[in-house]
Amino acid sequence: MLLPRKLWFKWQRVKTFWRHAWGRKEQPAYDASLRMCPNCRGLIDRRVSVCPLCGAFTRPARSRGGSAPGRVMGVIPIPRTATSALVGVNILLYAVSWYMTQKAAAAVLSAAPAWGGIDNRVLVSLGAKFGPAIYAGQWWRLVTAVFLHAGLLHLGMNLWVLLDVGPMTEALFSASKFIVVYLASGVAGFLLSLWWSPFVVSIGASGAIMGLIGALIGASFHHGTLGKEFRGRLWRWVIYILIFGLFFAVDNAAHVGGLVTGLLFGYLVPEGEPESGAAETLWSLLGTLAVLIIAGSFALMALHLSRITG
């Protein structure tokens, strides 16, 4: 029996998600060569300009100019997904904080922290979560703290998990919903951390990443038996992270705040690209607002840094 066209494409999307989620050995968990057609929602080759499933125009053909596609001046790669953009921002902020740590150590003729560690004073100046400063009006720290890390190991662990669950969450919901839940989970995590331990300096993307895991868990409640089995695997990751936090002085309050935010998002927000014009406009605005909040927070951090160093 043939399914209605819209229902068939929804079924294909669900099958693709769970096939990726369970991770067949011969396939990666996320196929970056595919993207979703904005018209029929089917998965198509990222390079095509016309959808082979519905015939809709998907994007302009590649430029014949001298620059390589997807690169600025043919050299600097342009992030193709929200996940890769977030990874790039985290690496950039770590590079800045590492340079400032080395400069501060050289100024007092002392050794910088080992293993790529970052000076705590540098983290505070760059926007770490710190209650007295936030209560003094520096609310932007709730955002900038999400992108700061205490060392190479801290950065590497968070980026490892982000690259694992990020593409899956982004493919299941959409890029705009993904960036909204990432920012909301990170901020909610640090708000709970601010209430729980206002005088403790805290940084890191783990609260936002727990939000992504929570979003997948929340969405799994809508997928019956397969969702229950997949949810069990994700809950084990949550337990491992929380236990790790108990023994290594990690900010579990931020983890819990991010997880709860992601759970609510995944359970309440419909999966996939917005299906109506109004919904598409709404999520585009929310995604743009999230990006502006992040950019504005970094701008306020830069102004603060210029005042304390100038």
pLDDT digits (tens, 9 = 90+) for 174-207: 999 999 999 999 999 999 999 999 999 999 999 9
Q: What is the pLDDT of residue 26?
A: 40
Q: What is the pLDDT of residue 228?
A: 82
Give the confidence band of 293 by pLDDT, cuts at 50, 70, 90.
very high
- Distance between CA atoms of 210 and 260, rounded to whole angstroms? 9
- CA-nearest of 233, 230, 184, 229 to 209 is 184
Give the confidence band of 288 by pLDDT, cuts at 50, 70, 90.
very high
Using an 8 Å Cβ cutoff, are 213 and 237 in contact?
yes
Residue 166 tokens, joined: 């990020």
In a 3-state reduction of DSSP, which class is residue 142?
helix
- CA-nearest of 176, 148, 185, 162 to 260 is 185
Using an 8 Å Cβ cutoff, are 217 and 242 in contact?
no
CATH architecture of 81-309: Up-down Bundle (1.20)
Query: How big is the chain by its Cα radius of gyration, in Å?
Result: 21
For the chain, the domains span 30-78, 81-309
Over the stretch 56-99, which tens digit does the pLDDT of each residue have? 656 533 333 444 445 544 545 556 789 999 999 999 999 999 99
Q: Which active-site residues does the annotation give?
A: 206, 255
Q: What is the pLDDT of residue 14?
A: 58
* pLDDT at 47 exceeding the cut of 80: no
- Distance between CA atoms of 235 and 91, rounded to whole angstroms? 28
Q: State the CB neighbour count (10 A cutoff) for residue 210.
A: 30
What is the mean pLDDT of the segment spanning 210-216? 95
Share the mean pLDDT of the chain. Answer: 82
Helix or strand run (H / E) with residue 164: helix 152-172
Give the confidence band of 39 by pLDDT, cuts at 50, 70, 90.
low
Using an 8 Å Cβ cutoff, are 189 and 255 in contact?
yes
* pLDDT at 236 exceeding the cut of 60: yes
Q: State the CB neighbour count (10 A cutoff) for residue 278.
A: 9
